[in-house]
Amino acid sequence: MQRERDERGQQGLVVVAGGGGFIGGHVVAELLAQGYSNVRAVDSKPVSSWFQVFPQVDNLELDLRDRAACREAMTGARRVFNFAADMGGMGFIETNKALCMLSSLVNTHLLLEAWEAGVERYFFSSSACVYAAEKQVSTDVAPLKEADAYPAMPEDGYGWEKLFGERMCRHFTEDFGIQTRVARYHNVYGPNGTFAGGREKAPAAICRKVIEAQLSGKHEIEIWGDGEQTRSFMFIDDCVQGTLLLMESGVTEPLNIGSDRLVTINEVVSIVENIAGLKVRRRYDRTAPQGVRGRNSDNTLVRARLGWEPRTSLEEGLEQTYRWIYDQMRAEERPSRVSRGVSV
């Protein structure tokens, strides 16, 4: 075990762009747990506002939309994980398309500087938003296969940025020889992430709203849409495992990393109610952003290529998420900033 840890430390510097964010912070934690001793985390936010901070890591505050910042981040790098992006739940990405598109600067500049630095392997975090809305018009949606990204008509703004990022990775591999890996994430949730303020996604928003209902005694929450829209949700631990497996694999094409269990938003609310031991009145705002009607992951290819599939049930993952958010809200001793409903 010690030899394995030493070898991982000697593999060279691993850079995690977006390391102060939700997924990036969990990846840094897992790299350290696996014995990687040379890790750099980079994020545009002040280190004091990162979700997870590790003193043994080289923590840098840099705006990676700027190429000079990417050059500094890539100094000495051998492997790079790119999670850096301006994004959030549906309420954010539907009203901030230009900001989402500007994240293409991050990936473009990171790839250029990774090429200059001689980076051996580069990971890009893409999204199920690359899939065309016309394939997601029913609650009983057919699971999305990787090939369904073409002919291309991704979600406006954020989806186009992610699909463009995938193409950039492909062409940097073809033209410059950088080994790239691409994961299409499907609705990742868990502790140590955003749960208020407008960028939170559905599982965290639902947990927060049920906790607010519980603490206030009002026992009522608002849900965007009719609650019958469907999604699959993947717990962060499974996401990290799939990500690291993909990074170490020989797979060069994009892969879905997500759960293939399809549930309605109403079902998610019911699960959180059971965790809280509370029944809430549900007010539905059908005028709010809802995204596609249904979305699910087809995991056939990722099982064949990586032998991976999620292990954490939605009930288990939501309980961990709920408990963490509850502790955060109690520690604040004040109501969390309330966004306008449940974003998906």
Closest CA to 193 of 101, 325, 57: 325
Buried b (16+ CB within 10 A) or exposed e, 241-250: bbbbbbbeee
Rounded to the nearest 10 degrees, the angle between the axes of helix 314-332 and helix 265-276 is 60
Task: Please pick, among 158, 185, 189, 326, the residue that the annotation labels catalytic.
Answer: 158
Six-digit token string for 22:
């939700």
DSSP assignment, residue 294?
A: B
CB 268 within 8 A of CB 233: yes
| Alpha-helical regions (H) of 75-117 | 90-93, 97-117
Residue 135's contacts (CB-CB under 8 Å, 6 or more residues apart) are: 141, 142, 144, 148
DSSP per-residue string spanning 135-152? G--STTPPPBPGGGG-S-
Write phi, then psi, for 189 (nearest 5 degrees).
-145, 165
CA–CA separation, 5 and 291 (whole Å): 44
Q: Is 158 considered catalytic here?
A: yes
Closest CA to 87 of 101, 107, 108, 105: 101
Closest CA to 334 of 169, 212, 193, 154: 212
CB 9 within 8 A of CB 37: yes
CB 32 within 8 A of CB 52: no
Residue type at 288 in one-letter notation = A
Four-CA torsion 305, 306, 311, 312, nearest 10 degrees: -90
Six-digit token string for 38:
């040379």
Positions marked catalytic: 158
